[in-house]
Structure 1
C-alpha cells in the first residue's frame, strides 16, 4: 500500500486507452437513410443510387439487371454488394436473367477484389428479412466481403472496431479499374 492519494480520472484527463473515433457510423447506428417503408418510393437507397454517377454512388460496375456497389459501412476494405435494379425483397422473386447476372457480377467482384487487393478468401451472402439481420430488408442485396489471413485481430475482437485504411472513393476507383470485362 502506498501513502499517495488515489488519482481520479475526470473529463479531459488522459488515461491508458487509445480511441478511434468513427462518428460517421452514427448515421448507420441511428438508421439514417433507411427506407421509411417497403416500397421502391419509400426512400430506398438501392433504388436511388443508380441515378447518381458511379463515383457519387460508389457504384463499381453496372449490368443490365443488377449493379455492384461499395458498402457504406464495410466490414472490411472492399466490402461490396451486388444489387438488382428492380426493387424486390426476396431472392425467390428474382427472374432468370436477374439471378444469372447477380451470380456473374458476384464472380467479377471476387476477381476484381483478388486483382486489386489480393484477397485470400470471401464471405458471400444475403440476409433475407429483418429477422435475419438485413439492414435494408425491402431491397435484396448480396454481400461480398473480402478476407485475408489474420484480418481478425484485437480491434474487432476486443474493441468491436474495424480499422479501414482507405477512403471509400479510393476503394471504388481501385475496384472499378480492376473490374473484369467480357
Structure 2
C-alpha cells in the first residue's frame, strides 16, 4: 500500500469473480477535482490560498523557501514528486503586472529551485511555466504562480499516459523538508 492509496483486485460488478487487474485508488485527488482550496473570486480576500500560505508555518504551508518578493511552495496536487511553484506575495494575475524586483526574484528563485531539486532528487530535466488565465489551464488564475516540475528519464510510464494517474513515492511534508534542506543559501 502506498500512503493514501490502496490497490486491490476488483470483482466484476463488485460481487463477481476477481479479474487479474489491480486498481490504484487515489481518493485524495477528489478534493482537487471538486475545487477544494479554490478561491471564490479574483480578489486577494476571496480565499486565495497563495495569499494565505505566507501566514502559515513553512511545514503547514508546504513552503520550501521565502524571499523578499516571492516564495517557493510545493504544489498540493503535484504532477510529479517535488512539483514546486514560485509565487509572488503580491496578489497579481498576470506576469506583466510584476514589478522589476518581483520579476528578478521569481527568476532567481526558479534557478534555486532547480538546484535544490537536482541535489535532492537527481532530476534530469524540468518543465517550467506559467499558465496565464483559465483558458491556458491556470487552476488559480487570479494569483500568478510559476510551476517547476522535475522530470526523470523514463518518468512517462503507463500510469500518467494510459492510467491518467500519478504515483508519488513520498509524502508532501517529507518532500518539503528534503527540498528545504537542499535549498541553496543565497
Per the alignment, residue 178 of structure 1 pairs with: 182
Matched residue, 2:135: 131
TM-score, structure 2 length as denominator?
0.92
Between the aligned partners of 1:39 and 1:119, the Cα distance in structure 2 is: 36
CA distance in 1, matches of 2:144, 2:13: 47
Whichever structure has more strand as a proportion of its residues is 2
Task: Choose from 58, 69, 72 the match for 1:68.
Answer: 72
Unaligned runs of 5+ in 1: 1-7
1:21, distance to aligned residue in structure 2 (A):
1.1
The structure with the larger Rg is 1
Q: TM-score, normalised by structure 1?
A: 0.94
Query: Once the 2 structures are TM-superposed, how far is the Cα of residue 20 of structure 1 from its aligned partner?
Result: 1.0
Query: What does residue 154 of structure 1 align with?
Result: 158
Matches of 2:126 and 2:162, distance apart in 1: 22
Given the alignment, which residue of 89, 93, 98 partners 1:94?
98
Aligned with 1:15: secondary structure? Answer: strand
Q: 1:78 matched to which residue of 2? A: 82
Q: Does 1:24 align with 2:28?
A: yes
CA-atom RMSD in angstroms: 1.0
Name structure 2 gaps, 5 residues minimum. Answer: 1-10
Hey, what does 1:52 align to over in structure 2? 56
Q: Secondary structure at the match of 1:10?
A: helix
